[in-house]
Amino acid sequence: MNQYVLAIDGGATKTTLSLRDAEGKIYFEKTTTSTNYQAIGTEKAEKVLTDLLEDAYTSTGIQNIAVAAFAMAGVDTKNGLAIVRNIIDRSRQNSSFCIHHTIIENDVQSTLIGLTGNNAGALVISGTGSAAYATDGKGRIERSGGWGHRVGDEGSGYWIGREILNTIFRYEDGRLPKPTILTDLVYDLLQINNIEQLNDWIYHPNYTNAQMAKISAVLSKAISLGDERAIDIACEAAKELSLMTDAVLRKIGPIHEKFVVYLNGGILKNNPVILKLYKDYVKELYPHISFHLCNQNPIDYIANRALRSLK
């Protein structure tokens, strides 16, 4: 009898579910909105997850799931794990699936395991949020960063977006001596005309962290136009991500010559200046390590994590 796995990537911006068999064949895959309870609350997270699970069952008719790997943002503490576990338990009870084994992990940790298997390595993600995880390949996993937008997420899309908006407000106040093209680029992106409209956008009732992260999309254009503040923000982002990487590598050390740091997330994939600066900073400390920019979607690595647990 064929065995099936569920892989769920519950990120800060979106959630993807994939139902696959033991050979990796995809029977159902769908992406919907965030299930990060820290961003949208537990009730909304539960509803999104329940609807997604039921969509998968309705579309496939497959009921028995050998392993379900829930890779969820917000699983950073024991309390966070307990909250997410309750959300998942209620969603499972409201779905038609019979799941025999459930894995609940931080989304970065689960992706790392799917990437490295039994090998040592690290994963640095900079998307809406940011975090670095590393493993020695023998079951030990360490982390740095990933503490959320209120106190951390340095070098992430959210952090960059906030830095960009802070720059615009500081210039408007007269606290910055030089003008910045970031103002015009953000106004064009949001289809607004002045600082009051920008303030209204920030504090509107339906604001989300993902919307703040989207502001980071203007950074590359501003850099190409030679904007000094945009270049400063890129340097700061790269430095923060390198500090995060150094911290987690020191925790997991020693680092051998074949050690790979996997890189994922929209900031590292779509901002070549940040990517180059980041690599340069890390190479100064660890000249022998190599980097691998992930070219698959995170859900594929999480599915690998689920499939490995079948063996």
What ranges do the domains of the chain cover? 4-117+297-308
Lowest mean pLDDT among 40-44, 62-66, 185-189, 223-227: 40-44
Q: Which pLDDT belongs to residue 194?
A: 95
Residue partners of 113: CB distance under 8 A and separation at least 6? 105, 135, 141, 305, 308
The tens digit of pLDDT for each residue in 257-302 reads 789 999 998 899 999 999 999 999 999 999 999 999 998 888 999 9
Q: Which pLDDT belongs to residue 179?
A: 87
> Comparing C-alpha atoms, which of 267, 271, 263, 265 is closest to residue 292?
263
Q: Which pLDDT belongs to residue 311?
A: 65
Q: Which pLDDT belongs to residue 257?
A: 77
Residue with the bigger pLDDT between 134 and 309: it is 134
Domain 4-117+297-308 has CATH 3.40.50.300: no
> Taking 80 as the threshold, does the pLDDT of residue 61 lie above it?
yes
Mean pLDDT of the chain: 90
Across residues 20-45, what is the average pLDDT?
Answer: 88
The tens digit of pLDDT for each residue in 217-227 reads 999 999 999 99
Per-residue DSSP letters for 82-98? HHHHHHHHHHHHTSS-E
> Taking 90 as the threshold, does the pLDDT of residue 103 lie above it?
yes
Report the C-alpha gap between 263 and 26 in whole angstroms: 25
Q: Which pLDDT belongs to residue 280?
A: 96
Q: Are 236 and 120 in contact (CB under 8 A)?
A: no
Tokens read off for 49:
């997850």
* Amino acid, res. 105: E
Across residues 109-132, what is the average pLDDT?
Answer: 90
Q: Which pLDDT belongs to residue 1?
A: 65
* pTM assigned to the model: 0.83
In a 13 Å sphere around the CA of 51, the CA atoms on its Cβ side amount to 14
Q: Which pLDDT belongs to residue 150?
A: 73
Lowest mean pLDDT among 85-94, 126-135, 142-151, 211-220: 142-151
The tens digit of pLDDT for each residue in 65-88 reads 999 999 988 787 889 899 999 999
Q: Which pLDDT belongs to residue 224?
A: 94
Tokens read off for 308:
């490995």
Angle at Cα 297 formed by Cα 295 and Cα 300, nearest 5°? 110
